[in-house]
């Protein structure tokens, strides 16, 4: 009994944080999604009316499309670049520790501050990007007011910010692979490409699972960069689900409907995460002992 009490006391702070800041808010949002509330008056119970409204809301479906488009732009580019950087730094190049710090620095910066800086960088008149393009005779577009370019620009900013963070985890995974496996493969005449696909990637799957799950969840929740750089525009071409939820809750004062949108986003993220775990469930396991 004494050991059990001590154990519960030790986990109490983490358990309190989980219940107070994760479990109870999720339950509260679900309950609120069943009400109509303008943040001022009394909530009115409407049952599943908010979900029925969502089914026919073009704005919500457009926001979902934009969010999926952003995820498809962000995750592959970020993962591939992070993997290439991790492989390069794993070769123990001179100054590798310095490069490691430089690549991680953008992740440590505030997204709002970075959004302001990159808004200036992509400014059509005084921005650095269009200035460099002008030097080679290319007229740069209005990056953030062009429907075709606005979302790729936002995705590129987030790729730049989080690639170094992803690279650290992949680098740790690479360094955990015993060199004896590569030495044995070299003796057997395995080429570099075969070694990458048959040894490195299979043994990197646990690290890859972690970075993909966390990055996909973060990408579905993108808000700061959109809010600072485009405010969901031009038109609604960069209005993501999180930004649309913000608009419904704090601009239109539809708190109940915003809660229903949040629940749908939560379920979508949960399903995508479950699919990722199912895909990596049969990952290769090697005994290095």
Q: Has residue 198 been placed in a domain?
A: yes
* For residue 284, pLDDT beyond 80: no
Report residue 252: phi and psi, to 5°: -100, -10
- The CA distance from 106 to 112, in Å, is 12
Render pLDDT for 80-123 as a digit per residue (tens, 0 to 9): 999 999 998 888 777 777 888 888 888 888 888 999 999 999 99
Tokens 């492989």 found at: 87
> What whole-number percentage of the chain has pLDDT above 70?
97
Q: Has residue 66 been placed in a domain?
A: yes
pLDDT at 92: 72
Structural domain including 142 reads 56-280
Render pLDDT for 24-67 as a digit per residue (tens, 0 to 9): 999 999 999 999 999 999 999 999 999 999 999 999 999 999 99
Q: Has residue 181 been placed in a domain?
A: yes
Q: How confident is the model at residue 191 (pLDDT cuts 50, 70, 90)?
A: confident
Domains held by the chain: number: 1
Q: What is the mean pLDDT of residues 250-276?
A: 96
Q: How confident is the model at residue 283 (pLDDT cuts 50, 70, 90)?
A: low
Q: Has residue 8 been placed in a domain?
A: no
Q: Has residue 60 been placed in a domain?
A: yes
Please give the mean pLDDT across all residues of the chain. 91
- The CA distance from 64 to 56, in Å, is 13
**Local structure of 115: helix, strand or coil:** helix
Q: Has residue 16 been placed in a domain?
A: no
Token pair belonging to 213: 């799950």
Span of 39-48, 127-136, 175-184, 270-279 with lowest mean pLDDT:
175-184
pLDDT at 98: 84
Token pair belonging to 232: 């969901």
* For residue 286, pLDDT beyond 80: no
Q: Has residue 286 been placed in a domain?
A: no
Render pLDDT for 147-171 as a digit per residue (tens, 0 to 9): 999 999 999 999 999 999 999 999 9
- The CA distance from 238 to 45, in Å, is 32
Q: What share of the chain is helix, strand, coil (3-state, %, to 5)?
A: 75, 0, 25
- The CA distance from 42 to 200, in Å, is 58
Q: Which of 59, 50, 52 lies closest to 29, judged by CA?
A: 50
- The CA distance from 235 to 68, in Å, is 18
- The set of residues, in sequence order, having a beta carbon less than 8 Å from that of 105 and lying 6+ positions away, is 164
Q: In this structure, what CATH number is given to the domain that contains residue 117? A: 1.10.3720.10
Render pLDDT for 208-229 as a digit per residue (tens, 0 to 9): 999 999 999 999 999 999 999 9
* For residue 289, pLDDT beyond 60: no
């Amino acid at each position: 009994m004494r050991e059990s009490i001590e154990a519960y006391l030790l986990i109490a702070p983490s358990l309190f944080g989980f219940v107070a800041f994760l479990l109870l808010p999720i339950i509260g949002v679900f309950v609120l999604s069943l009400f109509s509330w303008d943040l001022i008056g009394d909530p009115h119970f409407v049952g599943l009316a908010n979900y029925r409204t969502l089914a026919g809301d073009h704005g919500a479906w457009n926001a979902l499309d934009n969010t999926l488009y952003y995820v498809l732009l962000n995750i592959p580019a970020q993962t591939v670049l992070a993997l290439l950087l991790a492989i390069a730094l794993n070769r123990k190049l001179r100054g590798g520790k310095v490069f490691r710090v430089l690549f991680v620095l953008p992740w440590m910066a505030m997204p709002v501050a970075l959004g302001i800086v990159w808004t200036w960088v992509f400014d059509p008149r005084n921005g650095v990007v269009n200035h460099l393009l002008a030097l080679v005779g290319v007229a740069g577009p209005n990056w953030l007011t062009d429907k075709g370019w606005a979302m790729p620009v936002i995705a590129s900013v987030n790729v730049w910010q989080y690639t170094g963070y992803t690279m650290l985890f992949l680098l740790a995974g690479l360094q955990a692979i015993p060199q004896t496996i590569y030495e044995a493969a070299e003796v057997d005449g395995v080429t570099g490409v075969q070694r990458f696909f048959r040894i490195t990637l299979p043994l990197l799957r646990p690290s890859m699972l972690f970075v993909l799950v966390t990055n996909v969840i973060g990408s579905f929740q993108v808000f700061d960069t959109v809010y600072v750089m485009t405010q969901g525009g031009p038109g609604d071409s960069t209005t993501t689900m999180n930004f649309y939820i913000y608009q419904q809750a704090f601009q239109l004062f539809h708190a109940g409907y915003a809660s229903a949108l949040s629940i749908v986003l939560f379920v979508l993220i949960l399903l995508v995460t479950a699919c990722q775990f199912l895909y990596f469930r049969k990952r290769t396991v090697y005994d290095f002992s």
